[in-house]
Each structure stands twice: as C-alpha cells, then as structure tokens.
Amino acid sequence: MFTRNDVSAFDGPPPRGGAVEPEPAGRRVEFRVADHIDAGRETLPPETSARDLLLVMPLLLLDLDNTLVDRDAAFRTAVADFLAQHGLPDSDLTCLTTIDASGYTARHDVAAALSDRYGDVVSTAAVRALLDNGVAEHVVLTRSSREALSKAQADGWTCVIVTNGRTIQQEAKIRNTGLDQLVEGWVISETVGHKKPDPEIFHAAAAAVGMPLPGAWVIGDSPHADVAGAEALGLRSVWVTDGRPWSQDSYQPTHTAKDVASAIGHAMRNQE
C-alpha cells in the first residue's frame, strides 16, 4: 500500500508528463484502519463523525487497467513493436491479443504460448521483457482523465487506485503516466495479498489514506472485480462501459459511464 509520500523501490524513468516535481519522500509505515481514520480527523473538531469526515474528504477508489489507462491499447502497441523487432508477421497481432485476453490470462500461460509459437526465433528473455515491461512502456494517460483527476483533487476528493496485478508492473504504469502525482495513494493485489472483488483490498485502500470506507465511490471497467466488489460492501459504483452493454442480472452498478472522466464527473456531482 502506498501513498504519495511513501518511499518506493522503483528505479524506473520519470513520469512521461514531466511537468511535475516529485514530492519529498516520506517514511513507509504499516497501516491500520483505526489509526488512519483517527489521523484523518486530526485537523477536525473532536466530535467529527465518520460521515462528517467523508463529507469533508470524499473517497474515490479507481481501477487502473482499462479504466484510468487503456491497458489493451498499450499491449497492442507493445506487441506490434515486438513483432516488428523480430521480423514476425503483423497478422499475429490479433492472435496474441486474443491469447492475452485483456490481461486476464495468467502471465505464465501467455509466456508459454509465445514460447511455443516463437521459440525458434525469439529468446525467453525477449518474451519476458515484452510481458514485464511492454505495457508499462507504452501506456498513456489521456488529457481528459488527467483533467478529471486534477479537478477531483482540487475539489477535495481523496483518490486512490485499487488494482489487481503484479506490484512492479502496476507501479511502473502509475509512475510512467504521472498518476502518482494525481492520486493520494494506491493498493495493488500482489502487495496486500487480496484481489478485487475481495473486500479486504478495498478496506486496505481506505486505510492507506486514513479514510473511512462507507460512502466511497468505486469506478472501474470490470463487472466482477469493481462493481460486484462495491456491491458487496454497500458502496456506490460507476461502471466504465467502453461501449459494452451490461449483462449481469444479480447486481447492477449505481451508474454507467462511457469513460473514466465521465465516471469521475458523475461521482463528483452526486456526493452526499
């Protein structure tokens, strides 16, 4: 679990946005929910309730891949470069993106498929580099997403990224796009030991920034991981559709939006 002032072991390149100076590094701490709810009240009157704290500092929990950033587009670009670099046919792009399944195929299964297909012409190291670094090196944050997050920050929202995935890869995406300067913190499933939709990862996100979880909004593109996760905790959600119809009968998002900027805007307009 990380906040903007935490020390990180990440040694990668600076954010591509390049317009912001990194904040001074703080110390890494162990998070406990009770401690951080109390920390959030430090500057407020002692009688402030959890609901009052939420009204002062509303909490927004945001998915990363295919919500804040277009992970699939970055993967396609990385694969296209990989194919060109090794003299492989462009037509393989569709096959490889199908195998990847928007990142839901286990990494070792994707690696095995690539090795089986290209083992005679592509080294294991090249396959590993594609899967470890390809997306992070090509992912971008759109202007509309950046502006929506900046406005949420300016209006007092506490924005936290909640993402499934490997810590090194997800942190590289966050830092390479400059998202580390636009959110107050992030939690990654590999780090906390729980994946969305498990309630523990959402509790960890709230604890990381010293906020109560009740009343938060959850924004994401996955019906199962994001919307069902929010539903189980009684949280409001916005499903980022990317043009898809809703197909679940047992639960529904509070709202749907075409992209993350629209989703953030809806949450901001509907703070209770």
229 with 186, same domain: the answer is yes
DSSP 80-147: HHHHHHTT--TTHHHHHHHHHGGGTS-HHHHHHHHHHHHTTTS-HHHHHHHHHHHHHHH----HHHHH
114 with 12, same domain: the answer is no
3-state secondary structure of 3: strand
Q: Which residues fall within 8 angstroms of residue 214, CB to CB, at 6 or more apart?
A: 50, 51, 54, 234, 235
| pTM, full prediction | 0.81
Q: Which pairing describes strands 59-62 and 2-3: parallel, antiparallel, or unpaired?
A: unpaired
Give the residue among 182, 148, 152 at the shortest CA–CA distance from 58: 152
Domain boundary residue, one of 103, 121, 138: 138
Is 15:175 a contact under the CB 8 Å cutoff?
A: yes
Cα(86)–Cα(63) distance, integer angstroms:
33
3-state secondary structure of 226: helix
259 with 160, same domain: the answer is yes
195 with 233, same domain: the answer is yes
Strands (E), the chain: 2-3, 59-62, 158-163, 185-188, 217-220, 236-240, 255-257
159: phi then psi, degrees, rounded to nearest 5: -105, 130
106 with 216, same domain: the answer is no
63 with 122, same domain: the answer is no
Confidence (pLDDT) at 4: 61
41 with 80, same domain: the answer is no
Cα(43)–Cα(57) distance, integer angstroms:
12
145 with 243, same domain: the answer is yes
Is 90:83 a contact under the CB 8 Å cutoff?
A: yes
Give the residue among 202, 152, 210, 163 at the shortest CA–CA distance from 3: 210
Q: In terms of C-beta density within 10 A (0-12 exposed, 13-18 middle, 19 or more buried), how is residue 99 classed? A: middle
pLDDT tens for the chain, 272 residues long, are 666 655 333 334 444 443 333 333 332 223 333 333 343 434 345 555 555 544 456 899 999 999 999 999 999 999 999 999 999 999 999 999 999 999 999 999 999 999 999 999 999 999 999 999 999 999 999 999 999 999 999 999 999 999 999 999 999 999 999 999 999 999 999 999 999 999 999 999 999 999 999 999 999 999 999 999 999 999 999 999 999 999 999 999 999 999 999 999 999 999 86
Domain boundary residue, one of 138, 158, 184: 138
83 with 155, same domain: the answer is no
Structural domain that includes position 51: 2-69+140-269
91 with 164, same domain: the answer is no
177 with 261, same domain: the answer is yes
Domain count of the fold of the chain: 2
Cα(40)–Cα(189) distance, integer angstroms:
24
